[in-house]
Chain A
Amino acid sequence: MSRYPLASLSVLLLAIASAGLAADKWKPLKEDGIHDPENPAIGVLQEPADALSVLQADTAGNKVDWARSLEYGFIEPRGSIDGDKRPKFRGTTVLMRNTMPMRFVSFPHKTHTEWMSCETCHDSIFIAEPDANPINMGKILKGEYCGLCHGAVAFPLTECDRCHNTDSSTVAREAQAPARTEGS
């Protein structure tokens, strides 16, 4: 019988933790640790939970799947200040094979060009040539290359499989099929 109170307590604690998690998901501005609770802006500025809770949910980062939120039309961010032009879309995939024991990285231009124009990355962050960018995880963790956005405004670096997403066997199989663009 002694196990039942423990089990009940565990469930209760989990319930409290889950509730805490939901409440903690997007802290109110006055509790976020950086806004001054006495500032007159509190109560005027939009609260994060009001905006983010209606978007596509994610398990990591700021708990918003920004790519899906955009793809499914939950948000329609302007492509320019006056909103009358959008960045060019590019559908090619860049395959990065130099990933040591990890799976290859298949970088989707499509997802990224829906958010930003070519000039955002090229050539100030990535040189648009195959094998021209000496990227490694150390640099990414220090906030260079992909790490400039991923971990801050895009899904964090805890989500290894989202980038390391391609088996070498898949690549070999696709090599038989019509070619797609490859780069470094």
Chain B
Amino acid sequence: MNRRSGPSLLATLVACLVPVMFAWAEYADVILNDNSEAEGVAPVIFPHWFHRIRFQCSVCHVELGIKMGAGKTQIAMQDLIDGRYCGACHDGNTAWSIDNCDLCHSGKPGLETGIRGGHKTTGPGVY
């Protein structure tokens, strides 16, 4: 390689890395940990992508009354047991029942309540 290839190679490397850097998939996974770890279980991870394949937005955000925004609706296990929020479907009938603790409480220790993949974590909204 000649001396000119140095910057070209660097440019190529940068050009290759840029799409990789921006390849974050915006799952909009919701992390709920206001109470989970304090009560001895792992943080909850709610996958939006999984649920939107099966349900329209208004099912949860209107019919079940879950506000848009991570942590805006405080949800306790007793609510679920009583059939509210997640418990409306996760009853062992429409979806698996809430005694499968690990399937929701599957987050890494120390995660903060928030949305993973959103206007504050990717795209022009990073500030």
Contacts and interface: CB of A to CB of B under 8 A. Distances in A.
Interface residues of B, number: 59
A78 B111 contact: no
A153 B47 CA distance: 10
Candidate in B45, B58, B107 with the most chain A CB atoms within 10 angstroms? B58
B106 to A, nearest CB: 4
Interface in B1-60: 1-2, 5, 8-9, 12-13, 16-17, 19-20, 23, 25-29, 31, 42, 45, 47-50, 52-59
A75 B53 CA distance: 6
B26 A80 contact: no
B53 A51 contact: yes
A34 B125 contact: no
A58 to B, nearest CB: 11
A36 B50 CA distance: 18
B68 A21 contact: no
Contacts of B23: 20-21, 24-25
Interface of A: 2-3, 5-6, 9-10, 13-14, 16-17, 20-21, 24-27, 32-36, 39-42, 44-46, 48, 51-52, 61-64, 66, 75, 77-81, 86-87, 114-117, 119-120, 141-143, 147-153, 156-158
- List 8 tightest A-B contacts by C-beta distance, closest first: A151-B119, A152-B118, A17-B16, A117-B58, A116-B57, A41-B106, A116-B58, A156-B123
